[in-house]
Amino acid sequence: MTVKIDSEKCGWKDGKCTCGCCAESKCCTDVCPVDAIKRDKTAVVDADTCIDCGACIETCPKDAISF
Ligand code: SF4
Ligand code: SF4
């Protein structure tokens, strides 16, 4: 089981934060202990790196991440 990011709900759009999660310093990329989330055009999880800890789900202000 690996977490998924719903790109419709996620505030990271077209390479920019639109929801303020980054400014609050508790974005998914900041809390992931294994650096499994990358933000390019959209935020994506590397399933091979993710350890299913759930920290990103807890922190996301847009409720965009789920198992
Ligand atoms: S914390 Fe949520 S809204 Fe912000 S980039 Fe991550 S998935 Fe998207
Ligand atoms: S579940 Fe944990 S390890 Fe996986 S992407 Fe989220 S914060 Fe990173």
For a mutational test of ligand 2's pocket, the pick from 4, 52, 67, i.e. the residue with the most ligand atoms closer than 8 A to its C-beta, is 52
Q: Contact 25/17 with Cβ under 8 angstroms?
A: no
Domain that holds residue 37: 4-66
Q: Atom 5 in ligand 1: which residue has the minimum CA distance?
A: 12
Please state the domain count of the chain.
1
**Ligand 2 geometric centre to CA of 28 (Å):** 8
CATH number at residue 24: 3.30.70.20
- Examine the pLDDT at 24 and tell me if it is beyond 80: no
Q: Which of 36, 43, 35 is nearest to 17 (CA)?
A: 43
The model's pLDDT over 33-56, given as tens digits with 9 standing for 90+, comes to 999 999 999 999 999 999 999 999
43 has which bridge partners? Answer: 39
- Examine the pLDDT at 59 and tell me if it is beyond 90: yes
Give the pTM.
0.93
- 45 Cβ inside 6 Å of ligand 2: yes
Beta pairing class for 16-17 and 12-13: antiparallel
